[in-house]
């Protein structure tokens, strides 16, 4: 209960029943000093500025004050008066103190949390890369299941666990989540996380400085080894040799090995066969590019981590336009920076504005040079090496349809020609055909980064 609010309400009531001058003289600098609920009496101790005020309130206004207090607090109150110098009187803090049970509990919880976080940091892991923060969707659910299984039974379930996929799909996050979970369950676990590059550099340093024994001591005696971007060691024979022995030593005593890479073992060129076969022995699982739902979920999770509430519909808008997870993070940073600098709430307008500035060429690059529709189609036919008549013609085989649809898309988006007109240009096709083509390309653009690259390449070719 906020005694200030209570007293304010009480004063408001009293104001109407006493003279203006009396109110200002005696009531203004009062406050509730404390409340004692001994037995049935609710004694409200009111602190007054000076002796005169105390006397007056006590003698003249006690009844008024009691009435107002009773009404405000809803219970029978007994006001008493003391004198306190300016401002003071309320040094008293209420609520759980230093020695209360609650505080004790909070402290021991925090101690555990902090110790765990220290372990996590020492193992080179990021505390936010947990299983809870990992958004799951069909594109990564198998990998997620495998990871949780390994976290439950390290050394037993899938060993080694080999996760591969494009940039930014969550391989490192998932791998570190396993590490954090393992440390939570067993703080004494010896766990190392290192990027493949770090492993490489360290072995080279060790050889150079003749410190290989300590290197081996560090890496071979662990219970869990996590190596990120293992493809990095390919082609470096000494490193691969060392890794081979490290791998065997750890596995021989039941240790767990988890690796990530940007491609499956069979596609890593210059990887020694004996390593490739060992990697393939374990579980090789891929993570695909995130779909729309996953991107939305990722946006919501990351916003929360950054201390901001992102409305679902806005997250969806962003997820529509941006497909790469790294770009999602970058966009969020930009968005929140704008919000903070302008002290404005998150609105669709700001998001849309920033999205337009962000999209690759889509709305930003207006064609610098005026190009006629014919030119566009000509350039496309040249690019895909399909004769002009075929593109304009009625044939519907795939190698012809695809460039035709791109052409229709560009004519609509860049040159802003109407559907009907485009239909005309392409040999009297119905405007709905054009609409379908444009839609299809838009949708695909949102899903595939390859297509985005291709379209911007096309644009470059056409407009420059």
Partner 1 sequence: MIIKTQQKDLINALILTSGFAKNNSQLPILNNVFIKIDKKVMEIQATDLIAATKVRIGVIGEDSLEFLIQANNLLEYLQALNSGEVTMDIAEDKLTVSQIGSKAKFPLIKAGDFPQIKLNQKLVGIKVIGEEFLNAIRWASIAVSIEDNRPALTGLLFQKKDNGNGLMIVGSDGYRLSVADIRFKGDFDGSVLIPCKSLLSIAKEIGNTEVEIFIDRKTNQAYFSASNILVAIRLISEEFPNFKKILPETFQTSVEVEYGDLSSVIKQVSIFARQNANIIKLEIAEKIKISSQEGYAGSGYGELDCKFEGEKLGLGFNFRYLQDYLRSINDGLIKIGFNGQLAPVKLTSEQKPSYIHVIMPVKL
Which parts of this chain interact with partner 1 (CB under 8 A)?
2-4, 8, 31, 87, 90-91, 93, 95-99, 102-104, 106-107, 110-111, 113-115, 117-118, 307
Q: Any bridge partners for residue 30, and if so which?
A: none
Report, in Å, the least distance between residue 30 CB and partner 1: 12
Q: State which residue, 92 or 369, has the beta carbon closest to partner 1.
A: 92
Q: How would you class 367 by CB atoms within 10 Å of its CB: exposed for 0-12, middle for 13-18, buried for 19 or more?
A: middle
Structure tokens at 422: 């485009």
Q: If DSSP codes are grouped into helix, strand and coil, which group holds residue 452?
A: helix
Q: State which residue, 104 or 363, has the beta carbon closest to partner 1.
A: 104
- Edge-to-edge strands of the sheet including 77-83? 31-36, 42-48, 77-83
Report, in Å, the least distance between residue 330 CB and partner 1: 20
Dist. CA 70–CA 232, nearest whole Å: 77
Structure tokens at 323: 């497909």
Cα 204 to its chain centre, rounded Å, is 36
Q: State which residue, 33 or 200, has the beta carbon closest to partner 1.
A: 33
Report, in Å, the least distance between residue 186 CB and partner 1: 20
Q: Which residues of 38-62 are buried (b: 16+ CB within 10 A; e: fewer)?
A: eeeebebbbbbbeeebbebbeeebb
CA-based nearest residue to 459, from 405, 353, 398, 383: 383
Q: State which residue, 113 or 217, has the beta carbon closest to partner 1.
A: 113
236: left (phi over 0), alpha (psi -120 to 50) or beta: beta
Q: State which residue, 98 or 369, has the beta carbon closest to partner 1.
A: 98
DSSP 87: S
Dist. CA 464–CA 454, nearest whole Å: 15
Report, in Å, the least distance between residue 129 CB and partner 1: 16
Report, in Å, the least distance between residue 178 CB and partner 1: 23
Report, in Å, the least distance between residue 3 CB and partner 1: 7
Dist. CA 21–CA 16, nearest whole Å: 12
Q: State which residue, 91 or 372, has the beta carbon closest to partner 1.
A: 91
Dist. CA 395–CA 1, nearest whole Å: 79
Report, in Å, the least distance between residue 87 CB and partner 1: 4
Report, in Å, the least distance between residue 368 CB and partner 1: 42
Q: State which residue, 108 or 266, has the beta carbon closest to partner 1.
A: 108
Q: State which residue, 125 or 226, has the beta carbon closest to partner 1.
A: 125
Q: State which residue, 115 or 186, has the beta carbon closest to partner 1.
A: 115
CB 75 within 8 A of CB 37: no
Structure tokens at 431: 């405007």
Cα 26 to its chain centre, rounded Å, is 56
Report, in Å, the least distance between residue 216 CB and partner 1: 33
CA-based nearest residue to 349, from 308, 317, 305: 317
Q: State which residue, 9 or 211, has the beta carbon closest to partner 1.
A: 9
Q: State which residue, 127 or 311, has the beta carbon closest to partner 1.
A: 127
Mutual orientation of helices 373-384 and 449-463 as an angle, nearest 10°? 120
Q: Is there a cis peptide before residue 11, judged by omega within 30 degrees of 0?
A: no
Report, in Å, the least distance between residue 88 CB and partner 1: 8
Report, in Å, the least distance between residue 23 CB and partner 1: 14
Pairing of strands 161-165, 256-261: parallel
CB 199 within 8 A of CB 299: no
């Amino acid at each position: 209960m906020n005694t200030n609010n209570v007293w304010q309400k009480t004063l408001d009531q009293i104001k109407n029943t006493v003279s203006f001058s009396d109110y200002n003289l005696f009531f203004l600098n009062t406050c509730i000093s404390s409340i004692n609920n001994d037995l049935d009496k609710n004694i409200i101790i009111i602190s007054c500025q000076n002796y005169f005020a105390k006397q007056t309130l006590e003698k003249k206004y006690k009844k008024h004050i009691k009435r107002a207090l009773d009404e405000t607090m809803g219970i029978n109150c007994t006001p008493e008066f003391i004198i306190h110098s300016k401002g003071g009187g309320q040094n008293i803090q209420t609520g759980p103190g230093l020695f209360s049970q609650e505080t004790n509990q909070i402290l021991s919880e925090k101690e555990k949390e902090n110790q765990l976080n220290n372990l996590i940091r020492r193992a080179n892991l990021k505390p936010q890369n947990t299983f809870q923060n990992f958004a799951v969707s069909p594109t990564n659910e198998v990998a997620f299941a495998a990871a949780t299984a390994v976290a439950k039974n390290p050394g037993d379930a899938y060993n080694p666990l080999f996760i591969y996929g494009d940039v930014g799909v969550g391989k490192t996050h998932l791998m570190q989540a396993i590490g954090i979970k393992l440390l939570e369950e067993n703080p004494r676990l010896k766990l190392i996380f290192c990027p493949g590059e770090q492993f490489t550099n360290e072995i080279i340093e060790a050889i150079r400085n003749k410190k290989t024994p300590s290197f081996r001591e560090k890496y071979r005696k662990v219970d869990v080894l996590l190596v990120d971007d293992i493809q990095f060691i390919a082609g470096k024979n000494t490193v691969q040799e060392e890794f081979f022995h490290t791998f065997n030593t750890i596995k021989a005593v039941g240790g767990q090995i988890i690796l990530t890479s940007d491609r499956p073992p069979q596609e890593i060129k210059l990887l020694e066969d004996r390593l490739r076969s060992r990697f393939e022995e374990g579980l090789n699982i891929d993570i695909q590019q995130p779909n729309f739902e996953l991107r939305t979920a990722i946006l919501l999770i990351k916003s929360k981590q950054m201390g901001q509430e992102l409305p679902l519909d806005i997250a969806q808008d962003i997820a529509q336009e941006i497909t790469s997870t790294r770009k999602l993070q970058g966009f969020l940073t930009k968005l929140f920076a704008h919000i903070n600098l302008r002290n404005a709430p998150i609105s669709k307008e700001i998001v849309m504005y920033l999205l337009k500035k962000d999209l690759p060429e889509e709305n930003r690059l207006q064609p610098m040079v005026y190009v006629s529709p014919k030119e566009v189609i000509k350039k496309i036919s040249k690019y895909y090496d399909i004769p002009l008549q075929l593109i304009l013609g009625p044939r519907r085989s795939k190698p012809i349809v695809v460039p035709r649809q791109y052409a229709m898309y560009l004519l609509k988006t860049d040159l802003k020609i109407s559907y009907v007109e485009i239909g005309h240009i392409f040999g009297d096709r119905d405007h709905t055909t054009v609409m379908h083509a444009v839609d299809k390309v838009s949708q695909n653009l949102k899903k595939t980064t390859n297509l985005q690259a291709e379209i911007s390449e096309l644009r470059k070719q056409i407009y420059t």
